[in-house]
Structure formats: structure tokens, C-alpha cells
């Protein structure tokens, strides 16, 4: 097994996440993939299209903080998965969808998802559970559940250490 080298998470954007899926930013009233409304004392936005294909289940994951060893990943060939954080930024480690039996350590990338942002991973994208960027965190996810086994499998080539950008936490 190789020694774990470090992956520094970067802020998620529509461009840098495009090969894994879609990013929605519901924080600044400007994302063209959303419809924006406002009234006296409030404003909101919602996605123009349903968040995922099919009738998804809503879940919540409570998680520890980064850094962590990304040693195992899962994928969902039968559903997209949306992830959005509740209050604190979270880090998502992903690898491209493939026909391989495991994600390759060299293909892993990590992204910081801020409150108000959501990402929708395409079917089959390898991913680990998110971790808090600067402390324990909770995040919501939406996917179609009950599609059979979604096994966590060891990352091919060994684990990688995933961490937040130290410059972001100073």
C-alpha cells in the first residue's frame, strides 16, 4: 500500500466539479439554474429542475472534521446523489465514475461545499462520506434508496489524506 499523500480540498464551482456532476449556489440570488423570489423580509431560490431524477429519499449524515484518510469509497449506479450542508462547510472527496471495481487513489479530488450550495453527483461517481471543513458538521443528502447493495470498497492503490486548505482556516 502506498503512503497517503495529501489532497487539499478546493472550493466547489460549476467548472471544477463538471466532470462529477452539477453545482447549485443558492446563496447569492444569481445562479441561472435557480428561480429567485422575494417578499417583505425574505428571499429564496429553488432549482429550476428537480434536484435528482426520480423520487429521492432525504437523509442526514453527522460527521467528524477533516483531515481524514480517504480509504474506501462507494458509488450508486442506479441514482444520482445530491449533497448539501446544513450550517458548516463540508468536504466531499470524489473520483470519476468508472467500470473499475474501485476508485483509483490518483483520481480522487476534494471539494468544499459551503452552506447554501448543493452538488448533484452523476450516477456511478465514486465518493466518500463528507467531513466538516473546520469541525464536526452535519449535511443532508438525497438519493433513491433501496436499490441494492452500495458497497464501500477500498480505494485502489491505498488511502489518501484529505484536508481543508490551511490558508482558509487561518
Q: Give per-residue pLDDT as tens, 86-117.
A: 899 999 999 999 999 999 999 999 999 999 99
pLDDT-based confidence at residue 145 (cuts at 50, 70, 90): confident
The grid coordinates listed for 47 are 432549482
Q: Which CATH class is domain 6-169?
A: mainly beta
pLDDT at residue 28, rounded to an integer: 84
pLDDT > 90? residue 59: yes
Could you tell me whether strands 6-8 and 160-163 are parallel, antiparallel, or unpaired per DSSP bridges? parallel
**CA neighbor of 26 nearest in space, from 130, 115, 139, 120:** 115
**Is residue 74 scored above 90 in pLDDT?**
yes
- Entry pTM: 0.91
Q: Which three cell numbers stand for residue 106?
A: 490518483
Please state the domain extents for the chain. Answer: 6-169
Q: pLDDT at position 86, please? A: 80
CB 107 within 8 A of CB 161: no
Average predicted confidence (pLDDT) for the chain: 92
How many whole angstroms separate alpha carbon 31 and alpha carbon 9? 22
pLDDT of 166 reads 78
Q: Residue 170: is its pLDDT beyond 80?
A: no
**pLDDT (average), residues 5-10:** 95
Amino acid at each position: 500500500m502506498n503512503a497517503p499523500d495529501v489532497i487539499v480540498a478546493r472550493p466547489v464551482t460549476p467548472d471544477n466539479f463538471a466532470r462529477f456532476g452539477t453545482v447549485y449556489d443558492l446563496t447569492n440570488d444569481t445562479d441561472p439554474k435557480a428561480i429567485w423570489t422575494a417578499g417583505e423580509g425574505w428571499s429564496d431560490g429553488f432549482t429550476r429542475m428537480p434536484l435528482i431524477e426520480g423520487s429521492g429519499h432525504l437523509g442526514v449524515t453527522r460527521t467528524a472534521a477533516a483531515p481524514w484518510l480517504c480509504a474506501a469509497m462507494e458509488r450508486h449506479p442506479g441514482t444520482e446523489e445530491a449533497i448539501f450542508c446544513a450550517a458548516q462547510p463540508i468536504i466531499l472527496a470524489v473520483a470519476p465514475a468508472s467500470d473499475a471495481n474501485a476508485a483509483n487513489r490518483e483520481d480522487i479530488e476534494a471539494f468544499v461545499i459551503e452552506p447554501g450550495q448543493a452538488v448533484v453527483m452523476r450516477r456511478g461517481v465514486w465518493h466518500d462520506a463528507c467531513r466538516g471543513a473546520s469541525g464536526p458538521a452535519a449535511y443532508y443528502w438525497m438519493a433513491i434508496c433501496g436499490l441494492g447493495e452500495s458497497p464501500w470498497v477500498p480505494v485502489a492503490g491505498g488511502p489518501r489524506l484529505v484536508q481543508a486548505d490551511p490558508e482558509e482556516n487561518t
